[in-house]
């Protein structure tokens, strides 16, 4: 970073993102256990998991518009305050309806993730933004790693403790951000979030200087992806969406599966998520770059799809927990190879004047996948047995692997 002010703002923002994600990750692994305690079946648990994504996807454009009009700082502070309230409701929930209220409130507050990215765009010079966004992503990943273990550890103090602790962390986070996070200063011609928000609403167009003079909204690009699925960029978006739906199906029923098959409880489920998160972070931070340089993004993407499909299909087989742990590692390894490579290929093979819109279309498809995955997985778990969602998710990822066969490898060897 080029200035002390930029570095200070970024560190404060990273801390806010980290603590916010710790709170989310504390309560998420516990959600199926709380729901089952209130009499919910697997299908209802699927709806509870999907409720967060439904609220997040629908609220993100509104948060973008709010932050453009009233500022990034008010949006972030309101979001942090909303998270504190949502986690408190979770801690003291006595009915399924209160759990749904908590999840929807968490999703609404989680829609501010785009505001955080816009804050980076406002506060950091263009040449440093990619690095800054990488640091912000690293902070959220660290929160995902630590949160589940902290949730299981705090559960020993009582069923209310994880929600109350998560709420307290968000309240401290709110005070911290209120004191140390200043308002960013958008540029004269509109911030990056304005362009992203407009894209989500179907209003954004490519620059006037586009080489063919065309103007195309994100809504038109979504329709183009559906209408021409064999186009290279469309194939990459579909690969991402299909694989994301399968992965989201796993997250929707994993707690239920471990509860029924291996009798895991609130006191130890968090450590499983800690293990999975650690494997994912190590793969992305250490192994991914080496494999991309050695094999290229297309081959790494294919390898990730194959490993993810094998991992999902293998979940129902082990009878010993130690063997299951080895199988479980295949999923974060596969996703760490598949998703970043797919996004990287999309950014390199799309037109330069449509990069932001392509990313927006990909995230739109991914958002709907995160909604659909838990819904059908919960229904399959309840009506066809615990193994059904894993076999179905593996078959879905196999479709993504087959789609990747048509993609040509990088010309001239793998990227540096």
Q: How confident is the model at residue 202 (pLDDT cuts 50, 70, 90)?
A: very low
Residues of the chain with CATH 1.20.1250.20: 1-181+191-201, 206-416
Q: Which has more confidence, 45 or 233?
A: 45
Quick count: other Cβ atoms within 10 Å of Cβ 1?
17
Rounded mean pLDDT, 285-300: 89
Q: How confident is the model at residue 195 (pLDDT cuts 50, 70, 90)?
A: very low
Q: Which tokens sit at 320?
A: 């010993």
How distant, in Å, are the alpha carbons of 21, 316, 324 from that of 403?
A: 33, 26, 29
Q: What is the pLDDT of residue 209?
A: 35
Please say if the pLDDT value at position 79 is more than 80: yes
**CA neighbours closer than 13 Å in the CB half-sphere of residue 297:** 19
Separation of alpha carbons 223 and 214, rounded Å? 16
Please identify which residue in the block is written with the tokens 């931070």: 285
CATH fold, domain 1-181+191-201, is: Growth Hormone; Chain: A; (1.20.1250)
Please say if the pLDDT value at position 131 is more than 90: no
DSSP 193-208: HHHHHHHHTT-----T
- The residues near 78 (Cβ < 8 Å, ≥ 6 apart) are 112
Question: What pLDDT, in 10s, does the model give residues 13-72?
Answer: 888 888 889 999 999 999 999 999 999 999 999 999 999 999 988 888 788 788 878 888
Task: For domain 206-416, give its CATH number from 1.10.10.1110, 3.40.640.10, 1.20.1250.20, 1.10.10.10.
Answer: 1.20.1250.20
Q: Do residues 269 and 30 make contact, with C-beta atoms less than 8 angstroms apart?
A: yes
């Amino acid at each position: 970073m080029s200035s002390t002010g930029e570095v200070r703002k970024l560190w404060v923002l990273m801390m806010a993102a980290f603590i916010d994600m710790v709170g989310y990750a504390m309560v998420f692994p516990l959600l199926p256990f709380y729901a089952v305690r209130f009499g919910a079946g697997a299908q209802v648990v699927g709806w509870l998991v999907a409720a967060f994504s439904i609220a997040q996807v629908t609220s993100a454009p509104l948060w973008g518009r709010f932050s453009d009009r009233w500022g990034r700082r008010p949006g972030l502070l309101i979001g942090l305050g909303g998270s504190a309230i949502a986690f408190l409701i979770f801690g003291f929930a006595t009915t399924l309806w209160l759990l749904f209220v908590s999840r929807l409130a968490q999703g609404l507050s989680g829609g501010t993730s785009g505001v955080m990215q816009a804050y980076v765009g406002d506060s950091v010079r263009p040449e440093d933004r990619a690095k800054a966004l990488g640091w912000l992503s690293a902070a959220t990943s660290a929160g995902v790693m630590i949160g589940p273990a902290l949730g299981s550890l705090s559960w020993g103090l009582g069923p209310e403790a994880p929600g109350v602790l998560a709420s307290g962390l968000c309240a401290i986070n709110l005070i911290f951000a209120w004191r140390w996070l200043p308002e960013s200063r958008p540029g004269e011609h509109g911030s990056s979030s304005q362009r992203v928000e407009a894209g989500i609403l179907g209003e954004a167009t490519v620059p006037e200087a586009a080489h063919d003079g065309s103007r195309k909204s994100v809504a038109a690009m979504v329709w183009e992806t559906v209408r021409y699925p064999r186009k290279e960029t469309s194939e990459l978006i579909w690969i991402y969406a299909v694989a994301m739906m399968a992965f989201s199906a796993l997250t929707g029923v994993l707690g239920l599966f471990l509860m029924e098959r291996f009798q895991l409880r609130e006191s130890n489920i968090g450590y499983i998520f800690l293990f999975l998160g650690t494997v994912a972070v190590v793969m992305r931070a250490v192994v991914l770059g080496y494999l991309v340089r050695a094999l290229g993004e297309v081959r790494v993407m294919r390898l990730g799809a194959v490993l993810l499909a094998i991992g999902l299909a293998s979940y129902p087989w082990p009878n010993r927990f130690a063997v299951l742990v080895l199988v479980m590692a295949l999923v974060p390894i596969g996703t760490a190879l598949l998703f970043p490579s797919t996004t990287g290929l999309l950014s390199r093979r799309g037109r330069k004047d449509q990069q932001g819109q392509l990313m927006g279309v990909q995230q739109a498809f991914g958002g709907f996948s995160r909604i659909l995955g838990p819904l059908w997985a919960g229904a399959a778990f309840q009506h066809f047995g615990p193994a059904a969602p894993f076999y179905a998710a593996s078959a879905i990822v196999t479709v993504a692997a087959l789609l990747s066969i048509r993609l040509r490898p990088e010309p001239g060897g793998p990227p540096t």
